[in-house]
């Protein structure tokens, strides 16, 4: 069976029986079985795998996949107001063109010679992120923003030698799950409840937790899980530093054309997710994380990640690249390195670099302004809908925001009705609460349509 | 063609060009490769103030922007490049040409990385808006297709591993190792044994992430070294196990390409000590349909979908990992899972014993779609043919490479290798003073490259090759010929090798500055401050 003609497949060049035999002859082996001689019979699978019949031709496969994809309705076929960690932004065509190039898409881990382009593109990504974040060190991307937060907090823990981590702004429950799991060998996570009226950090409560001592870091998100850009973010820095703790701030980099980067209001470590910088939603599969700090040796020493650096070559005027402080990593030191490093999300870093180069300072300012303006309008407009309250009054929101329904209908029912009107949005956060999100892709008319649809549904 | 020209051609009685003159000489034995070398500027040197690469939608003029608190308003615009669109495209296309993707080279030299062909048709599926523009919080009835794919991929991997449940959430192989360690931790915690069981055992020829993830999760790490034949030392295992053993994390075949024939005994020894066994299947490509994690008694295993199941490596991710476990460990799987009632797929996030989220949402969905499509295009026979072809290719390349003067194949003398081989250039180094890394850089002048091994170099002057099923016999012959040539040069003109690459994008870097805090430059602004002495703000 194994050398049958029907094993020949376009992906398997040397499976043609004649080639296979010629190769065996050259090696001097009777059959492929000889190469499996070390695998004992007792662990061998003595039957074919029980898998569905394959779609061997590309045409059949494409038809099969089309049938599956046809059971999805994309956000382009509806009006989507979904956010909460995955965002609908326009992805410039040039970003797609670059990240879909075979040279980038299919490369892996070559040296900075034959893979010079990868090193330069990722170093430029680091550099552009450094400009955006107003720091000097940004890593090659890690898996996602959750991982970046977990690692940033462990970095703070190693630097301070302390155990407790205070989360001061509203945190996404999934992110909290990830962070709790990730830091638990060394740290206790303390969620300091936000002020229920404002949705903002409760500074007195944070101060009280700090007074108990042993705090490695105060963590805040900008915007928070409620979408709030907390006016108290600078005060949290003072509180953290006053207690000898580091200040770690998660942020949406897309907001930083208009909002101050965390370093400007006292953050020691910034982190976050770059999905918003030109990565498709892909059902939540388009994440990549960044970590950013000042260029101080004791901070750099705690990064687990790759850090690419610029170096001269033997030829004048040539840019060379390589790894900075390699001996930090688990590639160099196994369990004695910092956490671990491995394949993560480099191509998203290249794409985000293309995105930042296309946007430039003006594009980043304008998109930040557009999203803030749309968010403010959406909150104001939905607040006019009878039966809808928009909490947290004057707090600045970016993209995400929450509403409270005061009529008899549940958030789940309202979401289902919106869906019937071709609108995705209003993800329930409880019986009467729901989340919405607007970005630059929405128009005033879209927001008005959401409001009038809600009026119809709720009345 | 002009009339005059026609006339002159027609009237020439005797051609002045002979057929011999018109004959194109045969190609030389080796490709006369030169990589693109654009001598490209850094992006910060490009563009000029006021240029725009893309325009952004602006709010309706009737809308007013909200007030930003002064302390949270950006003071100065970020010093990003200002470039027109084509100039951005051109810069990055030049960089792409200065990058040797697996689609372009005989990429058998990234041993352990399983560089196989990633079918183009699978890329088309994930670029379709019905994958690329799906939001993870859509109603389940609008995403039945993608949920069906994730569910089906779990079923396929259950059969391929023999395990009972699979999570597709981890973002890559190391993330999957970590998720398995987290499940092991949760398992012992549930039994009240975590305080006692604080040790994890691995082998030096298993990927370093096994050791590093276990340590990150709070375990002490014991590393087994090979016995004289290169197999994991069973006596060392017996000495290491005990009441503190939480788990064995082991690769098989190991990164040497050697399959540990006593794997069942390893598993039994650890089980008898009360520990769990987790199988790092990063090297599964040669054993698909041949042997399975469950068949050797493992409790957990993981696959790298970007390796064994063909999703592109993307310059180092996004990748995807799959954790497969027995029913006993299934309650601890990362949440959510995708469940099917015979009619409808749904997301189950209510899993109280779960280790929780390993990443946002369901996983790296585009790579799950690609892996599903790849398996469905091959089926059981095709997977087995892929495995057998990968192993045939590996042993064929082994047969070729071992004939090159200066190379050796340490350990397990006379035994076959599965899907990769860790070679040693120690003899060549002793003879010539040329290091393995330098041979790898010289290979770049012939349009390919190779990787040495993870650290520490247990095998001296290492080289790790993994041909996979994707390369033809001619490809493998070419690759072996390049290595033969590079090794010959090391003996006959070592300076050529030591100063390589010569026909790559750039020349040998002087990386000393990268280890010194005073000179390392992770960003353009750091370079300007430290090296150019510019005062920044």
Judged by CB atoms closer than 8 Å, whether chains meet at A113 and B505 is answered as yes
Contact (CB, 8 A) for B366 and B132: yes
Give the per-residue SS3 of B466-526. CCCCCCCHHHHHHHHHHHHHHHHHHHHCHHHHHCCCCCCCCCCECHHHHHCCCCCCCCHHH
The answer to whether residue A319 scores a pLDDT higher than 90 is yes
Distance between B531 CA and the closest CA of chain A, angstroms: 10
Judged by CB atoms closer than 8 Å, whether chains meet at A300 and B83 is answered as no
For chain A, what is the mean pLDDT?
Answer: 96
Judged by CB atoms closer than 8 Å, whether chains meet at B174 and A342 is answered as yes
Scanning every residue of chain A, which has its alpha carbon at the shortest distance from the alpha carbon of B372?
A65
pLDDT (0 to 100) of residue B1: 40
For B204-232, write each residue's pLDDT tens digit. Answer: 999 999 999 999 999 999 999 999 999 99
pLDDT (0 to 100) of residue A2: 44
pLDDT (0 to 100) of residue A1: 40
Distance between B427 CA and the closest CA of chain A, angstroms: 23
Q: Domain B124-378 maps to which CATH number in 3.30.70.260, 3.30.470.10, 3.40.640.10, 2.60.120.10? A: 3.40.640.10
Q: What CA–CA distance (Å, rounded) separates A146 from A157?
A: 17
Distance between A372 CA and the closest CA of chain B, angstroms: 7
In A, which residues are within 8 Å of B281 by CB distance?
Answer: none
Residue B349: asked if its preceding bond is cis (omega within 30°), the reply is no
State the CB neighbour count (10 A cutoff) for residue A428: 16
Helices (DSSP H) in A45-160: which residue ranges?
Answer: 58-69, 93-99, 102-105, 116-133, 145-160
pLDDT confidence of A459, banded at 50, 70, 90? confident
For B274-303, write each residue's pLDDT tens digit. Answer: 999 999 999 999 999 999 999 999 999 999
- Give the list of residues 6+ apart from residue B160 with CB closer than 8 angstroms, or none: A49, A51, B288, B289, B292, B303, B375, B383
In A, which residues are within 8 Å of B386 by CB distance?
Answer: 11-12
For A169-214, the DSSP string reads: S---HHHHHHHHHHHTTT-EEEE-PPPTTT-S--HHHHHHHHHT--
Q: What CA–CA distance (Å, rounded) separates A458 from A448?
A: 15
pTM, full prediction: 0.97
Q: Write down the domain spans for chain B.
A: 124-378
Helices (DSSP H) in B12-97: which residue ranges?
Answer: 19-22, 85-97
Kindly state the helix (H) or strand (E) to which residue A299 belongs, with its residue range: helix A297-300
Judged by CB atoms closer than 8 Å, whether chains meet at A98 and B96 is answered as yes
Scanning every residue of chain B, which has its alpha carbon at the shortest distance from the alpha carbon of A439?
B57
Using CB atoms within 10 Å of the CB of residue B359, give its burial: 0 to 12 exposed, 13 to 18 middle, 19+ buried.
buried
pLDDT confidence of A16, banded at 50, 70, 90? confident
pLDDT (0 to 100) of residue A300: 98
In B, which residues are within 8 Å of A320 by CB distance?
Answer: 506-511
**Percentages of chain B per state (helix, strand, coil), in multiples of 5:** 40, 10, 50
Kindly state the helix (H) or strand (E) to which residue B394 belongs, with its residue range: helix B365-401
Contact (CB, 8 A) for A190 and A166: yes
Judged by CB atoms closer than 8 Å, whether chains meet at A48 and B178 is answered as no
All domains in chain A, ordered by first residue: 5-56 (no CATH), 79-89+361-458 (3.90.1150.10), 93-356 (3.40.640.10)
For A220-271, write each residue's pLDDT tens digit. Answer: 999 999 999 999 999 999 999 999 999 999 999 999 999 999 999 999 999 9
Judged by CB atoms closer than 8 Å, whether chains meet at B173 and A308 is answered as no
Q: What CA–CA distance (Å, rounded) separates B322 from B173?
A: 8
In B, which residues are within 8 Å of A313 by CB distance?
Answer: 506-510
In A, which residues are within 8 Å of B389 by CB distance?
Answer: 12-15, 20
Give me the phi and psi of A62, to 5 degrees please: -60, -40
The answer to whether residue A412 scores a pLDDT higher than 50 is yes
DSSP A434: E
Average pLDDT over residues A166-173: 97
> Angle CA(A260)–CA(A189)–CA(A434) in degrees, nearest 5?
65
ipTM metric = 0.97
Distance between B503 CA and the closest CA of chain A, angstroms: 10
For B182-193, write each residue's pLDDT tens digit. Answer: 999 999 999 999
State the CB neighbour count (10 A cutoff) for residue A211: 9
Instruction: Give the residue from B33, B56, B499 with the most A CB atoms within 10 Å of its CB, the best one to mutate.
Output: B56
Judged by CB atoms closer than 8 Å, whether chains meet at A20 and B392 is answered as yes
Judged by CB atoms closer than 8 Å, whether chains meet at B289 and A359 is answered as no
Q: What CA–CA distance (Å, rounded) separates B74 from B385?
A: 58
In A, which residues are within 8 Å of B517 by CB distance?
Answer: 295, 297, 300, 325
For A79-137, write each residue's pLDDT tens digit. Answer: 999 999 999 999 999 999 999 999 999 999 999 999 999 999 999 999 999 999 999 99
| pLDDT beneath 50: ranges in chain B | 1-3, 6, 537
Distance between B87 CA and the closest CA of chain A, angstroms: 9
Contact (CB, 8 A) for B443 and B109: yes
Distance between B3 CA and the closest CA of chain A, angstroms: 46
In B, which residues are within 8 Å of A94 by CB distance?
Answer: 53-54, 85, 88-89, 92
Judged by CB atoms closer than 8 Å, whether chains meet at A370 and B59 is answered as yes
For chains A and B, CB pairs below 8 A equal: 744
What are the angstrom distances between the C-alpha of A288 and each of A143, A248, B121, B136?
5, 18, 25, 16
Q: What CA–CA distance (Å, rounded) separates B370 from A81?
A: 28
Give me the phi and psi of B4, to 5 degrees please: -60, -45
Counting residues of chain A whose pLDDT is more than 90, the rounded percentage is 96
Judged by CB atoms closer than 8 Å, whether chains meet at B174 and A114 is answered as no
pLDDT (0 to 100) of residue A6: 60
pLDDT confidence of A7, banded at 50, 70, 90? low
Output b/e per residue, A365-401; b: 16+ Cβ within 10 A: bbbbbbbbbbbbbbbebbeebebbebbbeebbbbbbb
Kindly state the helix (H) or strand (E) to which residue B145 belongs, with its residue range: helix B144-161
- Give the list of residues 6+ apart from residue B192 with CB closer than 8 angstroms, or none: none
Judged by CB atoms closer than 8 Å, whether chains meet at B51 and A360 is answered as yes
pLDDT (0 to 100) of residue B16: 85
Q: Which two tokens stand for residue A274?
A: 């770059």
Closest of A283, A57, A19 to residue B119, by C-alpha: A57
For B356-366, write each residue's pLDDT tens digit. Answer: 999 999 999 99
Judged by CB atoms closer than 8 Å, whether chains meet at A54 and B378 is answered as yes
């Amino acid at each position: 069976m194994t050398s049958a003609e029907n094993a020949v497949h376009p992906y398997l060049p040397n499976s043609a029986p004649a080639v296979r035999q010629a190769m065996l002859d050259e090696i001097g082996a009777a059959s492929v079985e000889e190469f499996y001689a070390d695998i004992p019979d007792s662990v061998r699978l003595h039957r074919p795998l029980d898998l569905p019949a394959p779609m061997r031709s590309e045409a059949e496969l494409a038809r099969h996949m089309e049938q599956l994809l046809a059971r999805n309705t994309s956000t382009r076929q509806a009006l989507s107001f979904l956010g909460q960690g995955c965002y609908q932004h326009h992805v410039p065509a040039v970003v797609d063109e670059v990240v879909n190039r075979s040279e980038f898409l299919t490369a892996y881990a070559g040296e900075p010679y034959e893979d010079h382009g990868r090193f330069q593109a990722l170093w430029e990504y680091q550099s552009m992120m450094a400009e955006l974040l107003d720091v000097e060190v940004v890593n090659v991307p890690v898996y996602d923003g959750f991982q970046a937060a977990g690692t940033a907090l462990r970095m703070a823990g190693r630097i301070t030698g302390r155990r407790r981590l205070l989360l001061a702004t509203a945190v996404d429950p999934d992110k909290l799950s990830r962070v709790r799991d990730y830091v638990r060998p060394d740290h206790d996570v303390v969620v300091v409840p936000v002020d229920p009226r404002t949705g903002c950090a409760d500074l007195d409560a944070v101060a009280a937790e700090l007074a108990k001592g042993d705090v490695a870091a105060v963590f805040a998100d900008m915007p928070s899980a409620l979408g709030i850009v907390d006016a108290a973010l600078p005060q949290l820095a003072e509180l953290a530093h006053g207690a000898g703790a580091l200040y770690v701030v998660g942020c949406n980099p897309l907001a930083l054309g208009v909002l101050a980067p965390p370093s400007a209001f006292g953050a020691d470590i910034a982190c976050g997710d770059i999905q918003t910088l030109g990565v498709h939603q892909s059902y939540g599969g388009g994440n990549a994380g960044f970590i950013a700090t000042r260029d101080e040796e004791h901070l750099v020493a705690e990064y687990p990640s790759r850090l690419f650096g610029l170096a001269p070559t033997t030829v004048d005027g040539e840019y060379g690249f390589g790894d900075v402080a390699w001996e930090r990593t688990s590639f160099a030191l196994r369990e004695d390195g910092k956490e671990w490093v491995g394949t993560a999300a480099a191509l998203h870093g290249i794409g985000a670099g293309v995105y930042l180069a296309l946007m430039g300072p003006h594009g980043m300012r304008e998109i930040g302004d557009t999203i803030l303006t749309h968010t403010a309008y959406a909150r104001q407009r939905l607040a006019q809908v009878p039966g809808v309250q928009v909490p947290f009054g004057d707090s600045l929101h970016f993209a995400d925001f929450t509403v409270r329904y005061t009529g008899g209908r549940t958030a789940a029912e309202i979401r289902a009705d919106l869906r019937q009107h071709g609108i995705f949005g209003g993800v329930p956060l409880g019986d009467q609460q729901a989340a919405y999100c607007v970005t630059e892709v929405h128009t005033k008319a879209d927001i008005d349509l959401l409001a009038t649809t809600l009026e119809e549904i709720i009345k | 063609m002009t009339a005059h020209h026609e006339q002159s051609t027609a009237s020439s009685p005797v051609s002045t060009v002979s057929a011999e003159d018109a004959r194109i000489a045969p190609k030389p034995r080796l490709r006369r490769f030169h990589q693109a070398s654009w001598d490209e500027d850094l992006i910060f040197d490009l563009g000029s103030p006021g240029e725009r690469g893309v325009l952004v939608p602006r709010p309706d003029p009737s809308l007013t922007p909200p007030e930003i608190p002064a302390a949270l308003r950006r003071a100065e615009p970020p010093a990003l490049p200002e470039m027109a669109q084509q100039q951005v495209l051109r810069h990055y296309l030049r960089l792409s040409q200065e990058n040797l993707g697996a689609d372009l080279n005989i990429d058998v030299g990234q041993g352990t990385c399983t560089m196989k062909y990633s079918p183009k048709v699978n890329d088309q599926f994930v670029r379709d808006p019905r994958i690329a523009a799906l939001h993870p919080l859509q109603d389940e009835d609008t995403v039945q297709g993608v949920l069906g794919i994730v569910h089906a991929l779990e079923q396929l991997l259950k059969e391929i591993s023999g395990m009972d449940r699979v999570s597709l959430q981890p973002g890559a192989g190391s993330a999957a190792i970590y998720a398995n360690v987290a499940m092991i931790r949760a398992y012992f915690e549930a039994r009240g044994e975590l305080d006692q069981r604080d040790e994890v055992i691995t082998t030096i020829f298993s990927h370093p992430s096994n050791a590093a993830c276990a340590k990150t999760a709070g375990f002490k790490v014991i590393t087994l070294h090979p016995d004289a034949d290169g197999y994991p030392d069973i006596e060392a295992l017996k000495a290491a196990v005990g009441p503190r053993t939480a788990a064995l994390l082991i690769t098989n075949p190991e990164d040497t390409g050697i399959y540990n024939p006593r794997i069942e005994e390893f598993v039994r020894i650890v089980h008898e000590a009360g520990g769990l066994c987790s199988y790092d299947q990063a090297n599964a490509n040669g054993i698909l349909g041949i042997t399975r994690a469950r068949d050797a008694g493992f409790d957990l295993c993981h696959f790298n979908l970007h390796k064994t199941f063909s999703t592109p490596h993307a310059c180092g991710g996004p990748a995807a990992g799959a954790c497969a476990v027995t029913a006993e460990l299934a309650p601890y799987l990362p949440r959510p899972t995708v469940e099917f009632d015979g009619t409808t797929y749904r997301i189950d996030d209510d899993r109280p014993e779960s280790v929780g989220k390993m990443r946002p949402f369901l996983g790296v969905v585009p790579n799950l779609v690609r892996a599903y499509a790849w398996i469905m295009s091959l089926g059981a026979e095709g997977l087995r043919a892929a495995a057998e072809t990968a192993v045939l290719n590996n042993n064929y390349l082994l047969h070729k490479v071992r004939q090159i003067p200066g190379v050796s194949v340490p350990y397990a003398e006379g035994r076959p290798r599965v899907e990769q081989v860790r070679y040693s250039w120690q003899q060549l180094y002793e003879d010539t003073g040329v290091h393995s890394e330098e041979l790898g850089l010289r290979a770049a002048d012939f349009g390919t490259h190779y990787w040495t091994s993870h650290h520490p170099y247990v095998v001296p002057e290492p080289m790790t090759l993994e041909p996979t099923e994707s390369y033809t016999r001619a490809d493998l012959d070419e690759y072996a010929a390049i290595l033969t040539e590079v090794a010959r040069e090391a003996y006959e003109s070592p300076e050529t090798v030591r100063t390589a690459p010569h026909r790559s994008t750039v020349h040998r870097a002087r990386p000393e500055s990268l280890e010194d805090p005073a000179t390392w430059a992770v960003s353009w602004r750091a370079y300007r401050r430290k090296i150019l002495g510019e005062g920044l703000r």
